[in-house]
Amino acid sequence: MRYILRGGTLHRGSEWADLDTRPLEDQLAEIAHEVALRSEAAEHSRYADQQARKTAQQNRENALHIAHAAHAYRVQHLGKQTDAGHEAKGLAEFVTAVRDHTAPLPPGQEKTEIEEWLAFTDAHFQQLIKAASAPRLPTPPHPSRADLEPYLATVKPSANRAQPRPQSQQDQRLSDHT
């Protein structure tokens, strides 16, 4: 009689035969041990595959969150550019009206104060124009620890450590007998 074990990861052997010097019954412990080793290896492989799938899923979710945050940041930036453009347009109209009103004024304290105000306004106007006319996508800043804190509260401390390997049936049997 012959016993052949197929499948799984080979550890010590895959074939046992009934011999005159060694009957198959005497080899049953070896066969059982090989089956247990292959079962444990398959368990570890399944566990590693499961962990790899979980990690890949988490990476996809993280990438999606980053993409959403980058999109939201860019939309917010676009809103600021739009607001700056509207403010610049309104300010330009207002400054033009003030210049038209100031031009006929005689030299004096009122005209000097208005010209100082116009100089300040021109500088501010240049900043608005620069903010409104930078037509490129901004790079979202990296979040600070404080920005991330509300999201980190849901992460369990053990999630940052290596996951324990599952206990094999053979390990379980050994611990039950001790």
Per-residue pLDDT, averaged over 81-98, amounts to: 88
pLDDT at position 167 is 55
Using 50, 70 and 90 to split pLDDT, how confident is the model at 63? confident
What pLDDT, on a 0 to 100 scale, did the predictor assign at position 165?
52
What span, in angstroms and rounded, lies between the C-alpha atoms of 95 and 97?
5
The C-alpha atoms of residue 135 and residue 133 are separated, in whole angstroms, by 6
Mean pLDDT for all residues in the chain: 82
Please report which confidence band the pLDDT of residue 8 belongs to, taking 50, 70 and 90 as the band edges.
confident
169-178 pLDDT, tens digit each: 555 544 454 4
Q: Report yes or no: 24 and 1 within 8 Å, Cβ to Cβ.
A: yes
Closest CA to 88 of 136, 118, 135, 132: 132
> How many residues appear in the chain?
178
Burial class (CB in 10 A: 0-12, 13-18, 19+), 22: exposed
pLDDT per position as a tens digit, 28-46: 899 899 999 999 999 999 9
Q: What is the reported pLDDT for 172?
A: 52
- Which pLDDT tens digit goes with each residue over 114-134? 999 999 998 988 887 877 776
Q: How far apart are CA 125 and CA 94, in angstroms?
A: 11
Which ranges of the chain does DSSP label H, i.e. alpha helix? 28-102, 109-132, 145-152, 169-177
Q: What is the mean pLDDT of residues 141-162?
A: 66
Question: Does 16 score more than 60 pLDDT?
Answer: yes
27, 53 Cβ separation under 8 angstroms: no
Whether the predicted pLDDT of 161 surpasses 70: no
